[in-house]
């Protein structure tokens, strides 16, 4: 028997069904026939259901709507219970095509579902002003045990609001009370929106001192018309003030500490939003686990509202330890000890320590390929002590002071050792909007940055490089404004997050490296339902380097503008343009040992260059294999990068997927090379949800770009015993000092004039353009 599709009245169905089927039909349809509600003229809506042979729980393979002009299918589908069998994700479509059970989210038609959904759709429309709506339901079942469900709608004309008024608002002298309401005259008679109006008015009254305000709604619909007159009656009650405030649940923290975090005091004008601010202020104290504020609106006199503040404290002392792994830092470990009520007053004292690049040596060729080689892959560390004062004149202000020592490396660019102090004053200028003013004087030295200074600023003299790498002072002042309207830290699904960061290190403050730096970063999130999120990010930066005095040689007294390598912008990595490894997007320089240029390599019988060509900087290293070079990013003073990402569930709420397109550009207008074009890298990844954030695996594709890059090597000079040279110093000499050239390496670096075409490794096959990232937390 072929599948049947029909819209039938109950008598015609009765002629085609057996007694058991009649009983089932009666249980499904009769309640709807009697309770679907009258339409225009009192006519009763018809509900038709074709219930033929097949299982009692058929699989729903199709769910459709027709006649819906005012609301989308997604809005209507969200209002009913029936669901359609779907593939769990776009990435799983190939598995769905072959019927793999793990990829398919199956939905079945349960008894009573269609009847209830008929009523739900009817209610959905009536609540939104379409009181003449008619809903017809059609179910088509097949012998294969599947069903197609279709809802046909006749929306009709909606009732519209012809008169909208607020009675009692004029006596309050609050003209702003009725501004920007969700409903105005001319809108459909939407009961959901009218309830939002009532809540908005009650909230506004509560923020103007009326704790007992009531807002009543009345609707008048003249008979035989589609007009509606809506009126809200406002009964503000007495002006109220905050009464006595009692604090309970605190043992370590004094009552006074809790009370000073409240943005109001006893006798202050009642404002409901201040209660939320107070609860947030108390919760921000590290020692407080939970905070709740309840109000006694039944107390007398009714012009005073007593408050009860309930808190739940954590342990005064806390120890934390953890570890992790990613390709850029290899294995890492960290630990902290905190006293969260140091010297009373909920002040916090914290000691922290962190180790990075653990086991980078033995694991550098396998799971830690993002770690640099040699000195760049040695153990990095950070130790710090931080003191936080949570209240400075007002609960909106907090002060932190920290002292730290660290060794940090940027792969193949520099190694930095520093000792410094950070002072920061933070003020909450709005909800989720902190403004921070900071100063961070430090003494820092650099190592292994010779190639960077030579290629980026043409400072190749060893004395000048030694001066730049020596212990220099950095005294940057910072101003940071952050606005977070996402409501979620780990995986936002709506809202936006914006950051503006200004930093300046002036000469008058004693900074040896001087600069001005600006960074702007904005991310936006749009939820599409069912945990599907579209996320976008745009980040830009600008660096203006100041002068560095004290250089010798050719640069003496020149006051060259030299940017500290830590302050320059770099792009590429798991939280940047994911088609590239950490910091590999943008300008690069390659270095090569000078003996590779002056001695025959592999099966070659002649060297690449003659000694005179190296001295004259005219040597071309283009004939060497790319494996002979070490690529080093030089960064830039300008940065633009961004991402567009679609996040979607794959397996419930635990496993998710993402498809993304990243783009970026890093350049230096003062550089010799022309600014590079934007790089675009598509990719995808998986997200496994954990309490500390999603574990993220991403794969980006950059293609096989080819760049013109400069080459840095060691300068050479003739062999001269009068200068203390010994035969073993000669380039190419063996241990006995035999053979070799009559040239030795000089202390200077040589920036060769000819550039080379560099691909970044023997990336010939397309798959060598793939870049793998493993990390914790969303990319942005």
State the Cα–Cα distance between residues 105 and 95, nearest whole angstrom: 12
Q: How confident is the model over 467-523, as pLDDT tens digits? A: 888 899 999 999 999 999 998 878 898 999 999 999 999 999 999 899 999 999 999
The mean of the pLDDT values for the chain is: 85
State the Cα–Cα distance between residues 424 and 413, nearest whole angstrom: 29
Examine the pLDDT at 586 and tell me if it is beyond 90.
Answer: no
Higher pLDDT, 53 or 136: 136
State the Cα–Cα distance between residues 497 and 539, nearest whole angstrom: 12
Examine the pLDDT at 11 and tell me if it is beyond 80.
Answer: no
Q: How confident is the model over 190-204, as pLDDT tens digits? A: 999 999 999 999 999
Examine the pLDDT at 553 and tell me if it is beyond 60.
Answer: no
Rounded to a whole number of angstroms, the CA Rg of the chain reads 36
Residue 312 burial by Cβ neighbours in a 10 Å radius (0-12, 13-18, 19+): exposed
Judge contact between 140 and 5, C-beta under 8 A.
yes
pLDDT at 112 (0 to 100): 87
Asked if residue 470 has a cis previous peptide bond (ω within 30° of 0), the answer is no
- The angle subtended at Cα 312 by Cα 306 and Cα 318, nearest 5°, is 150
Examine the pLDDT at 182 and tell me if it is beyond 80.
Answer: yes
DSSP label at residue 361: H
Judge contact between 45 and 130, C-beta under 8 A.
no
DSSP label at residue 501: E
pLDDT at 765 (0 to 100): 62
From the list 364, 392, 396, the residue with the least C-alpha distance to 377 is 364
Q: How confident is the model over 332-376, as pLDDT tens digits? A: 899 999 999 999 999 999 999 999 988 887 877 777 777 777 788
Mean pLDDT lowest for which of 38-47, 189-198, 217-226, 664-673?
Answer: 38-47
State the Cα–Cα distance between residues 156 and 133, nearest whole angstrom: 6
Judge contact between 601 and 608, C-beta under 8 A.
yes
> Torsion-angle region of residue 258: left (phi > 0), alpha (psi -120 to 50) or beta?
alpha
Judge contact between 57 and 143, C-beta under 8 A.
no
pLDDT band at residue 766, thresholds of 50, 70 and 90? low
Length of the chain counted residue by residue: 780
- The angle subtended at Cα 699 by Cα 697 and Cα 700, nearest 5°, is 140
pTM above 0.85, yes or no: no
Three-state helix/strand/coil letters over 670-696: CCCCCCCCCEEEEEEEEEECCCCCCEE
pLDDT band at residue 601, thresholds of 50, 70 and 90? confident
pLDDT band at residue 560, thresholds of 50, 70 and 90? low
Contacts of 202 (CB under 8 A, 6+ apart): 213, 214, 215
State the Cα–Cα distance between residues 681 and 667, nearest whole angstrom: 18
State the Cα–Cα distance between residues 622 and 607, nearest whole angstrom: 12
State the Cα–Cα distance between residues 340 and 320, nearest whole angstrom: 13
Examine the pLDDT at 81 and tell me if it is beyond 60.
Answer: yes
What DSSP element (H or E) covers 143? none
């Amino acid at each position: 028997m072929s599948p049947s599709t029909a819209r039938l009245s109950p008598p015609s169905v009765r002629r085609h069904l057996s007694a058991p089927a009649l009983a089932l039909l009666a249980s499904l349809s009769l309640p709807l026939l009697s309770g679907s509600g009258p339409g225009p003229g009192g006519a009763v809506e018809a509900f038709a259901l074709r219930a033929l042979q097949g299982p009692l729980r058929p699989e729903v393979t199709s769910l459709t709507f027709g006649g819906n002009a005012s609301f989308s299918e997604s809005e209507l589908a969200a209002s009913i219970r029936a669901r359609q069998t779907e593939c769990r994700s776009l990435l799983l479509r190939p598995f769905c095509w072959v019927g793999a059970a793990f990829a398919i989210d199956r939905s079945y038609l349960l008894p009573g579902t269609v009847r209830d959904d008929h009523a739900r759709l009817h209610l959905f429309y009536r609540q939104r002003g379409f009181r003449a709506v008619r809903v017809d339901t059609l179910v088509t079942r097949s012998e294969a045990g599947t069903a197609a469900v279709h809802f046909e709608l006749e929306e009709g004309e909606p009732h519209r609001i012809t008169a909208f008024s607020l009675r009692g608002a004029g006596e309050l002298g609050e003209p702003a009370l009725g501004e920007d309401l969700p409903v105005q005259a001319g809108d459909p008679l939407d009961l959901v929106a009218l309830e939002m109006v009532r809540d908005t008015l009650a909230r506004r009254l509560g923020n103007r001192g009326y704790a007992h305000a009531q807002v009543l709604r009345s609707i008048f619909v003249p008979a035989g018309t589609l007009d509606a007159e809506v009126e809200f009656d406002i009964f503000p009650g007495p002006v109220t003030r905050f009464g006595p405030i009692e604090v309970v649940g605190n043992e370590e923290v004094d009552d006074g500490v809790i009370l000073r975090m409240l943005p109001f005091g006893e006798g202050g004008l009642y404002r409901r939003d201040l209660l939320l601010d107070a609860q947030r202020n108390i919760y921000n104290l590290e020692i407080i686990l939970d905070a709740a504020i309840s109000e006694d609106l039944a107390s007398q006199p009714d012009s005073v509202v007593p408050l009860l503040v309930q808190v739940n404290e954590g342990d005064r002392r806390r120890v934390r330890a953890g570890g992790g792994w990613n390709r850029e830092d290899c294995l890492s470990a960290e630990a902290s000890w905190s006293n969260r009520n140091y010297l009373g007053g909920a002040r916090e004292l914290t000691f922290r320590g962190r180790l990075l690049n653990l086991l980078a040596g033995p694991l550098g060729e396998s799971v830690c390929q993002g770690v640099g080689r040699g000195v760049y892959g040695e153990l990095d560390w950070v130790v710090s002590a931080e003191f936080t004062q949570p209240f400075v004149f007002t609960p909106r202000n907090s002060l932190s002071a920290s002292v730290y020592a660290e060794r940090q490396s940027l792969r193949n660019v520099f190694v930095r050792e520093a000792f410094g102090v950070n002072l920061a004053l933070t003020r909450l200028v709005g909800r989720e909007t902190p403004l921070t003013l900071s100063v961070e004087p430090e003494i820092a030295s650099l190592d292994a940055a010779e190639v960077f200074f030579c290629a980026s600023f043409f400072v190749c003299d060893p004395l000048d490089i030694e001066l730049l790498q020596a212990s220099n002072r950095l005294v940057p002042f910072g101003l940071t404004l952050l606005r977070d309207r996402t409501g979620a830290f780990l995986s936002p699904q709506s809202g936006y997050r914006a950051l503006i960061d200004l930093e300046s290190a002036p000469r008058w403050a004693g900074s040896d490296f001087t600069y001005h730096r600006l960074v702007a970063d904005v991310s936006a999130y749009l939820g599409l339902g069912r945990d599907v999120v579209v996320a976008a990010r745009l980040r830009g930066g600008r660096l203006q380097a100041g002068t560095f005095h004290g250089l010798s040689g050719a640069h003496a007294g020149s006051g060259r503008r030299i940017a500290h390598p830590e302050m320059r912008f770099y792009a590429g990595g798991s939280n940047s343009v994911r088609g590239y490894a950490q910091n590999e997007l943008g300008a690069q320089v390659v270095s090569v040992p000078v003996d590779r240029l002056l001695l025959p390599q592999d099966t070659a019988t002649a060297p690449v260059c003659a000694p005179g060509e190296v001295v004259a900087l005219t040597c071309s290293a283009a004939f060497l294999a790319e494996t002979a070079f070490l690529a080093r990013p030089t960064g830039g003073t300008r940065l633009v990068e961004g991402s567009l990402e679609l996040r979607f569930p794959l397996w419930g709420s635990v496993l998710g997927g993402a498809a993304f397109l990243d783009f970026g550009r890093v350049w230096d207008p003062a550089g010799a090379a022309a600014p590079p074009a934007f790089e675009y890298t598509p990719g995808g990844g998986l997200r496994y949800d954990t309490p500390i954030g999603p574990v993220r695996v991403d794969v980006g594709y950059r293609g096989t770009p080819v760049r013109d890059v400069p080459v840095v090597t060691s300068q050479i000079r003739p062999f001269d015993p009068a200068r203390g040279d010994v035969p073993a110093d000669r380039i190419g000499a063996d241990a006995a000092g035999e053979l070799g050239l009559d040239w030795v390496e000089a202390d200077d670096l040589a920036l060769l004039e000819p550039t080379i075409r560099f691909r970044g490794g023997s990336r010939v096959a397309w798959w060598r353009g793939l870049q793998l990232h493993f990390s914790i937390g969303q990319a942005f």
